[in-house]
Structure 1
Amino acid sequence: MAGSYDDRDGKIWMDGKLVEWRDAKVHILTHAMHYASSVFEGERAYGGRIFLSRKHSERLHFSASCLDFEIPWTVDQIEAAKEEVLKANGLSDAYVRAIAWRGSGEDMGVAARRNPVRLAIAAWEWGSYYGDAKFKGAKLDIAKWKRPSPETIPVHAKAAGLYMICTISKHQAENKGCSDALFMDYRGYVAEATGANIFFVKDGEVHTPLPDCFLNGLTRQTVIGMLKDMGVTVHERHILPEELEGFEQCWLTGTAAEVTPVGQIGSYNFEVGELTRKVAQEYEKLVRS
């Protein structure tokens, strides 16, 4: 599947039924468009099976609750809808996007309690998120924006509004010839990339930022479990920017990113080492098992 995302063949599940891809539309006065009242999930299907599908559906409900709305479809109904979308589009290996939002209704201000909550699920073929970087190592810029304090926004929700600075930072990174950007948090600690968590290796042990002000990704959790099963020590902790110089290897994790090695962050260089390659290989085996 190629071309503009609003002009394709296929089916999208929308509010309880499959509709033609080009007919999956919302009104211009949709609350989410004006006030970012939407949450979403990015998932991948391998061989017809969505990896950690139910956990994604459960997190979608959790994110909605963080934004003070309730999705009028159960986790089981969302699971069935995702399967229906894959089947209707004849997809086996695919990216799946579920999104819930406050639609247009009687309210058109900050408050929107009288507006309906809507849900849509789409799926499409999508290769490596970082292209060739998945094999030779991504190059990251260091973002000027910082991940905010938990006192300012619901940082543990996968909410659209949290990605505003991600889009800005990724555009700035691409203008510099980079694949992505690395955020620090509001305290100055290393946080995450624009859509992926980050891991570092030093002396055979792994260090990864503590997700106390950003999303604790499902792929992140999976990889930590894999590392512990491999007998690798994992330190979840606050990491200072000056520590980057001492790390030997680095990789990103995320549903879209999967496990992507990092070769450079700003002026710091990393090798695509044995542990990085092993984690990527083992993850690939796991999602297809």
Structure 2
Amino acid sequence: MAGYDDRDGKIWMDGKLVEWREAKVHILTHALHYASSVFEGERCYNGKIFKSVEHSERLRRSGELLDMPLPYTVEEIEAAKKATLEANGLTDAYVRALAWRGAGEDMGVASSRNPIRVAVAVWSWGNYYGDAKFKGAKLDISKWKRPSPETIPSAAKASGLYMICTMSKHAAEAKGCSDAMMFDYRGYVAEATGANIFFVKDGEVHTPLPDAILNGITRQTVIGMLRDKGIKVHERYIEASELEGFEQCWLTGTAAEVTPVGRIGDYSFEVGALTREIATDYEKLVRA
């Protein structure tokens, strides 16, 4: 596969489709220096983006949280995603919508005079965790912690918040792991580097409260699915000491979908019946 900067196809940028290789920004783009950027990761199944409007709405909310009001409405973003998929001839694809402060009159921390730019790119993408989706992912435990919402806009899907995630995932991959689990600033279980986390014990499901992490759209979908099945879901603070007592574990996210976890550090988990059932049901839901 060619690098992401060297492919055939079209990318939607600032209201028009451009050639993939020509979708460029200037070196003094504000976002490159100060992380003034927000994004969405979405998946298109059989020609339909799952929860598309919710993603477009969150993109705009993320921009507002970064004092970066997007110049496009939800309806315009929806139309841009549809046009990009059609231009690339894709019906099953990953969709990346991105908004950022571009190059302009400002080149310091402040950037109110710089334009807010928006782009949409789409490409074919398989399982985020490869065969771990079937066998159970192996997770490292990150040394980095998710910060307090008093220090970052944790409800925004902002590019800068992923810096420690990248570092954590690199460290995990160096150890032969698929990903890393992170604790939050208080020491509670938080999430993986790009996915929310769930645990099973005695037929009930436990997942961290999203008060210092992103409340993922896939997370919310899976919680709804579980409750529709009559399965009790506890959204709560989870202590590190509890990991030993959980029987099953899985990750959720647009890229991850529903991925079982077989190990976190020294703790092992069964890829059990409930995990497989939710993964199968989610696959049916997104392709319905």
| Fold similarity call, TM over 0.5 | yes
Cα distance between partner residues in 2 of 1:171 and 1:6 = 21
Cα distance between partner residues in 1 of 2:38 and 2:45 = 23
Q: Does 1:197 align with 2:225?
A: no
What is aligned with 1:104? 103
Q: Deviations over 1:69-89 (max 9, x none)?
A: 110010000000000000000
What is aligned with 1:143? 142
What code does the residue aligned with 1:177 have?
Answer: G
Q: Does 1:58 align with 2:39?
A: no
Cα distance between partner residues in 2 of 1:137 and 1:74 = 40
User: After the TM superposition, which parts of structure 1 deviate over 4 Å for at least 4 consecutive aligned residues?
Assistant: none
What is aligned with 2:11? 12
User: Cα offset for 1:3?
Assistant: 1.1
Cα distance between partner residues in 1 of 2:250 and 2:189 = 14
What is aligned with 1:78? 77
Q: Deviations over 1:193-220 (max 9, x none)?
A: 0000000000000000000001000000
User: Cα offset for 1:15?
Assistant: 0.3
Q: Does 1:238 align with 2:216?
A: no
1:30-179 matches, within 5 Å, as: 30-179=29-178
Q: Deviations over 1:96-154 (max 9, x none)?
A: 00000000000000000000000000000000000000000000000000000011010
Q: Does 1:253 align with 2:274?
A: no
Q: Deviations over 1:159-190 (max 9, x none)?
A: 00000000000000000000000000000000
Q: Deviations over 1:210-253 (max 9, x none)?
A: 00001000000000000000110000000001100000000000
Q: Deviations over 1:34-83 (max 9, x none)?
A: 00000000000000000000000000000000000110010000000000
What code does the residue aligned with 2:176 have?
Answer: G
Q: Give the total of aligned pairs.
A: 288
Specify the SS of the correspondent of 2:148.
coil
Cα distance between partner residues in 2 of 1:151 and 1:198 = 23
What is aligned with 2:28? 29
Cα distance between partner residues in 1 of 2:69 and 2:208 = 31
Give the root-mean-square deviation of aligned CA atoms: 0.3
What is aligned with 1:212? 211
Cα distance between partner residues in 1 of 2:184 and 2:68 = 27
Query: Structure 1: which 5+ runs fail to align?
Result: none
Cα distance between partner residues in 1 of 2:155 and 2:239 = 21
What code does the residue aligned with 2:98 have?
Answer: I
Cα distance between partner residues in 2 of 1:187 and 1:144 = 13
What code does the residue aligned with 1:260 have?
Answer: T
Cα distance between partner residues in 2 of 1:236 and 1:69 = 31
TM-score when normalising by structure 1? 0.99
What is aligned with 2:264? 265
1:172-187 matches, within 5 Å, as: 172-187=171-186
What code does the residue aligned with 2:222 have?
Answer: V
Query: Structure 2: which 5+ runs fail to align?
Result: none
Cα distance between partner residues in 2 of 1:113 and 1:231 = 49
Cα distance between partner residues in 1 of 2:149 and 2:272 = 35
Specify the SS of the correspondent of 2:243.
helix
Cα distance between partner residues in 1 of 2:207 and 2:79 = 35
Cα distance between partner residues in 2 of 1:132 and 1:207 = 25
Cα distance between partner residues in 1 of 2:139 and 2:239 = 17
Work out the percentage of aligned pairs sharing the same amino acid. 77
